[in-house]
Amino acid sequence: MTQEVLVAGETLIDFIPEQTGPLAAVESFSRRAGGAPANVAVGLAHLDSTPLFWTRVGDDAFGDHLRETLADAGLADTYVETDPVAKTGLAFVSLGEEAEREFSFHRHESADTRLQPGTVDDETLAEVEWVHVGGVTLADEPARTATLDLVERAQAADATVSFDPNARPELWAGDECSFAETVDDLLPQVDVLKVTPDDLAEADIAYDGPEATAEALLDRGPHTVFLTLGDAGSFAAATAEAPWTEAAVATFHDGYTVDPVDTTGAGDAFTAGVVAALVEGADLDEALGFANAVAAVTTTAPGAMTALPSREQVVTFRAEQS
């Protein structure tokens, strides 16, 4: 089977708390497979758009679990690397009363920071239509150089490049190359940007409402921008250069009402919905609605990867909401 999408980035173990409250007060956790790009890759597989996935995990028990999880989701192991030295990255999650989450990462020199430039060959990039990357692997070398190299070669191969900055401030503390500088350098090479107001704040980009903010972001390189706004819904805008529209267009979706259990991975589910819909030829409005539904269903179960819905579940959910 020829995959139309390549996703690249970290696969981690998320430790999800079994109670709400600050991390210092949590006594027990459940182990879950995670990592934003891994969630996107598995989300796409659940939506019948199975991608190639480039990632790196440790030669340890956590790495074994992650490789098995990716395989169970139907992802090929072509670019699922095992680092012989570095350990698998970990993230401990705390949940607030409204299911909002915070992270504490344990990934100093972990396997996902050691992605090597050139691992994905040019022949593969010539065959895929879409390449998606996240911001976490940009925080450490050599993964930063590897991610930037992949984006540059994907653009040269005429693949659509999407980017989720996924701001995690603690990962950039003391780094000689800041998150804001990295996002600024990358935007001109990105076609589709998925971003939140929090991401923009960390990138020193002013948020001035969805319409004005999207217009400012479109001026910096991408031809399509998706803004996720939490309970306020989501907004998308595209220029006439976007392949899914013949003219500049903008659209808003006010989201779906659900009882959230855990919002971990909702943004990644949204991204998977966007990519799946646009690769299949949906217009911007349909892609936004579909992505919102994927994200909404994801919040109704604990964990990130384990909560990702099937296409059938999304279709049923949208029918029930109409």
What is the rounded average pLDDT of the residues 17-21? 81
Q: Whole-angstrom Cα distance, residue 81 to residue 218?
A: 35
What confidence category does residue 85 fall into, taking pLDDT thresholds of 50, 70 and 90? very high
What confidence category does residue 226 fall into, taking pLDDT thresholds of 50, 70 and 90? very high
The mean pLDDT value of the chain amounts to 93
Token pair recorded at residue 315: 């279709």
Amino acid identity of residue 18, one-letter, is: E
Residue 196 or 92, more confident = 196
Taking each helix axis from N to C end, the angle separating 36-46 and 266-279, rounded to the nearest 10 degrees, works out to 50
Of 22-31, 186-195, 224-233, 263-272, minimum mean pLDDT range: 22-31
* Residues in CB range of 305: below 8 A, 6 or more apart: 32, 33, 34, 38, 39, 42, 69, 73, 265
pLDDT at site 1: 43
- pTM score of the predicted model: 0.94
Length of the chain counted residue by residue: 322
pLDDT digits (tens, 9 = 90+) for 139-155: 999 999 999 999 999 99
Instruction: Single out the residue of 322, 289, 275, 290 nearest to residue 128, CA to CA.
Output: 275
Amino acid identity of residue 118, one-letter, is: G
Instruction: Single out the residue of 151, 118, 127 nearest to residue 221, CA to CA.
Output: 151
pLDDT at site 50: 97
pLDDT at site 26: 84
